[in-house]
Amino acid sequence: MPSNEQRRQAAKRKLERQLQRRAEQAKRRRVITIGATIVVVIAVVVGVFYFTRTGSDTAQQQQSPQAQPEIQIPTQLAPPPARPTPLPDPVSCEYKPDSKGASKPVQPPANGEVSSKGTVQATINTNHGAIPLTLDRALAPCTVNSFINLAKQSYYDGTSCHRIGTEGLQMLQCGDPTGKGSGGPGYTFDDETFPELQYGRGYLAMANAGSNTNGSQFFMVFGDAPLSPDYTVFGTISEQGLQVIDGIARAGHDGAFEPSPGGGHPKENVTFEKVDVQG
């Protein structure tokens, strides 16, 4: 039979074993609790990052169309241009040599009398499609005479349009063989403007560097054109041609000419393959 002392020692050892097991169980519970807490915290952080990033990306996607608004182009043609007082028929035209010389070999038109009656059909064939024109001698006989002369000598063939404006002044400017905006045919001639002149969709007009400095560069108005009447209008652009220009305009420009004179190089390169004159 065990003695009382032996029984006390056995009971003490049993109690110590129970306390040790309880301590180990408590420690395991703490480790599990800490691990679970860490997992929850990581999950929360990942969730916040994901939804924040997703929300940011969504916001950027929603804002991107606003950052690059679609170009607004009027669809209605401007009233056909007409002089309030007809010109005499014929008129006298003079084509004066300039100091810069021709950007591409070409002969100037002969000086002298030119008819101010009738129209001439022409087509600018581009890499984007055909742009049919109606050249009106009653508006600007000397200008029409120069354009026909240049076209028949293939002066415009292979040239590109160097500038387009899509806001404010909506036009496509062409006619410089250098593609830089400073070239010309080696001669100039006088303006054929009138104070009542207002520009609008479908007008064909001469570009210039000041009064009476017309050469080979011209612009085609496809929308708004809040200009003073200082640019000679010498014809109109067909609906088919305007659709071609509209497509070029919607592609935008590189802003190379901002803020003055405005616009830039067309993002869609525009090359004249051939300019045909009928008649």
pLDDT of residue 9: 63
Token pair in block for residue 135: 């050249």
d(C-alpha 72, C-alpha 60), whole Å: 23
Contact call for residues 211 and 117 (beta carbons, < 8 A): no
Which residue shows structure tokens 């303006």?
A: 191
Question: Which is higher by pLDDT, 22 or 165?
Answer: 165
Each residue's pLDDT tens digit, 130-153? 999 999 999 999 999 999 999 999
The model's pLDDT over 26-62, given as tens digits with 9 standing for 90+, comes to 666 665 555 555 544 455 444 544 444 444 444 444 4
Q: Is 90 exceeded by the pLDDT of residue 239?
A: yes
Options 2.40.110.10, 3.40.50.10860, 2.40.100.10, 2.60.200.20; CATH for 91-278 is 2.40.100.10
- Give mean pLDDT, residues 247-259: 96
Q: Residue 70: what pLDDT?
A: 85
Cα→Cα distances 212→86, 185, 203, Å = 20, 15, 20
pLDDT of 99 = 93
Question: Residue 2: which pLDDT band, with cuts at 50, 70 and 90?
Answer: low
> How far is C-alpha 85 from the chain's CA centre?
38
Q: Would the pLDDT of 185 be above 50?
A: yes
Q: In what order do the strands lie in the sheet with 119-126?
A: 163-165, 171-174, 218-221, 203-206, 233-237, 129-136, 119-126, 272-278
The predicted pLDDT at position 30 comes to: 65
**Greater model confidence, 65 or 2:** 2
